[in-house]
Amino acid sequence: MVLRRLVTILLLAALPATLLAELANGDLPAARWYIHVDLVSMRKGDAGKQLYAWLDREVFDELREEIGFDAAKEADSVTAIASPDGGIMIVVDGDFSQMTTDRIVALAALASDFEPLDVESKPYFYVGDDDHDSEGDDGHETKSLDEGAFVSVALKQKLLIAQSEQQMQELLKNKGRIPGDYGSSNALLVLRAQQNLVQAGADTADLGSDLGWDSSVLRNTRQIALLVAEATGKIAVEGQLIATDANVANSLASIVRGLISLQVFNDDLDPALSDLLKNTNVSVSDMTLTVKLDLDPGTVLGIID
């Protein structure tokens, strides 16, 4: 149960070779979505420190209390990615103590369904919940990480979590490099800045159904990407949306500008939020719609809370 909470908390904290401090185009294979959180950069910047303090208070405290894993000291970055078939992989990179890795293994062994496994002499284990019907042709077929997961601490400075056994075996064989098609034309867009904090992206083809949204906007787009970065004491947020054609991109830009204008003149709107909307930049280049804004860290934390 606690290991399942660890998986959930790590995903929440997020919102590959050896993990990079930042991602660039080509660093990820084709995927349905990805999230990459650079905790080192978040600790360094003036604005990022405030966001990191929130994570430490609201997320990492629970890890410390439940399994003694001090993410504030031991975790450097978290990458979560969903492969084209939907299977999720999480790679946590950091300087993990032997005590931390031992506790993770011991905690897994207490699960209702635990099985030690290995590939090429690298150990991993399956952790499942007997409350779920997770038995499949390969013995461990799970519909979600909440039902069960394959976990490994066999690689130095890495915690690996995978939804399928094949994914885990490929992660271990490739020394932590996320498996997949790196030459695919369907690779997701990655946005970058001088000091990245969070990078994320998604293929919008199935995003609406995945999230339970019936969105006409998503039906007319191909990809979305998000970047959260530190910029001179503020949190810079950039979102890009790739539409199906240039006309759609321009139409979407008009919709966004119109919605912003409607809210700016809303007398009931908080003045700080009104100023924020006034300073939101919306632009279009061919099929790409870009929205940029700079936020005070306090505003970001208020939105999160």
127-185 residue pLDDT tens: 987 554 444 444 566 667 777 899 999 999 999 999 999 999 999 999 999 988 887 77
Q: What is the DSSP string of 233-253?
A: TEEEEEEEEEESSHHHHHHHH
In angstroms, rounded to a whole number, what is the distance separating the alpha carbons of residues 295 and 263? 17
| CA dihedral of residues 290, 54, 3, 12 (deg, nearest 10) | -20
Listed residue (215, 278, 304) closest to 252, CA to CA: 215
Per-residue model confidence (pLDDT) at position 272? 67
Give the pLDDT band of residue 186 (cuts 50, 70, 90).
confident
- Reply yes or no on whether the pLDDT at 96 is more than 80: yes
- Burial profile 53-85: b = 16 or more Cβ within 10 angstroms, e = fewer: eebbeebbebbeebbebbbbebbbbbbbbbbee
Q: What is the pLDDT of residue 18?
A: 35
The alpha-carbon radius of gyration of the chain (Å, integer) is: 20
Neighbour tally for 174: CB within 10 Å: 13
Whether the CB-CB separation of 189 and 201 falls below 8 Å is answered with: yes
**pLDDT tens string 102-133:** 888 888 888 888 899 999 999 999 998 755 44
Portion of the chain with pLDDT greater than 70, in percent: 82
What element of type H or E holds 231? strand 221-231
What is the identity of the amino acid at 186?
A: N
C-alpha dist (Å) from residue 67 to 2, 102, 112, 241 = 8, 10, 17, 39
The lowest-confidence range among 14-28, 124-138, 274-288 is 14-28
190-241: per-residue pLDDT in tens?
888 778 899 999 988 766 666 666 666 777 888 999 999 998 888 999 999 9
Is residue 107 left, alpha or beta, with left meaning phi > 0 and alpha meaning psi from -120 to 50?
Answer: alpha
The pLDDT, as a whole number, for residue 298 is 82
Position 208 scores a pLDDT of 61
Q: Note the pLDDT of residue 93.
A: 92
Residue 242 near residue 187, CB atoms below 8 Å: no
Q: What are the boundaries of each domain within the chain?
A: 2-173, 196-304
